[in-house]
């Protein structure tokens, strides 16, 4: 069992200390649009993405305390101020802490693939979860998903066109193995070094839906 690491950082928030739901403009001290990363890992993707987009506020959540700690350390070292990190389970956090129709983007990079067939129903990203997420996204919001697991990538890519109100930003391609301008996480780089391909998908919530 991993020991619990105490996190002392201006970028770290405890969900239980936030209002339900919080006023994120007050939390960040500005009216910038808010994006969410589900499963921030050790924070390298979020660091690069937040530096690239100072006009956006980012909420980065992870279920693992060690990942939150490493993410905060990384953000603090670089003086990043437009990210807040929280340790929580995704669906519970979104339901309790994100106002509906408020997110400008959702990023999900390399979630647990639950590779055994009997466990695949535990996978985070499925039709029900994406439809749930759409309630919390603004028209024009971006949805990004990436995985190194072939069967997970193909399943999600085949499922997304079935969801009304989403537009595929890759045109006729259900997924791509290269996504210029999209930062690679530590895990993606590791998988690619092992010869694995990353499956990227990028959709937008249609305007007026």
Give yes or no for a contact between 41 and 18, defined as CB atoms under 8 angstroms apart: no
Distance CA 4, CA 69 (A): 10
What phi and psi, each to the nearest 5 degrees, are found at residue 159?
-80, -40
CA-nearest of 94, 92, 123 to 106 is: 94
Q: Is 112 a catalytic residue?
A: yes
3-state secondary structure of 133: helix
Of the candidates 62, 76, 112, 155, the residue annotated as catalytic is 112
3-state secondary structure of 102: coil
Give yes or no for a contact between 88 and 98, defined as CB atoms under 8 angstroms apart: no
Give yes or no for a contact between 186 and 41, defined as CB atoms under 8 angstroms apart: yes
Tokens of 22: 């919080």
Q: Which residues are catalytic?
A: 112
């Amino acid at each position: 069992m991993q020991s619990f690491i105490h996190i002392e950082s201006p970028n770290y928030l405890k969900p239980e200390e936030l209002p339900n739901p919080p006023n994120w403009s007050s939390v960040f001290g500005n009216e910038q649009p808010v994006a969410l990363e589900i499963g921030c890992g050790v924070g390298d993707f979020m660091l690069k993405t937040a530096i690239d987009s100072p006009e956006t506020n980012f909420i980065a959540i992870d279920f693992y305390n060690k990942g939150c700690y490493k993410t905060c350390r990384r953000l603090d070292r670089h003086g990043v101020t437009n990210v807040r990190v929280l340790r929580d389970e995704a669906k519970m956090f979104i339901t309790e802490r994100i106002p509906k129709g408020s997110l400008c983007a959702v990023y999900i990079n390399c979630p647990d693939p639950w590779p055994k067939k009997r466990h695949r129903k535990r996978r985070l990203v499925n039709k029900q979860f994406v439809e749930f997420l759409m309630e919390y996204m603004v028209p024009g919001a971006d949805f990004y998903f990436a995985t190194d697991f072939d069967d997970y990538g193909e399943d999600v890519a085949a499922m997304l066109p079935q969801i009304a109100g989403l537009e595929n930003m890759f045109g006729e391609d259900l997924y791509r193995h290269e996504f210029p301008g999209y930062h690679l996480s530590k895990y993606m780089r590791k998988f690619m070094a092992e010869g694995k391909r990353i499956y990227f998908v990028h959709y937008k919530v249609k305007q007026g839906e």
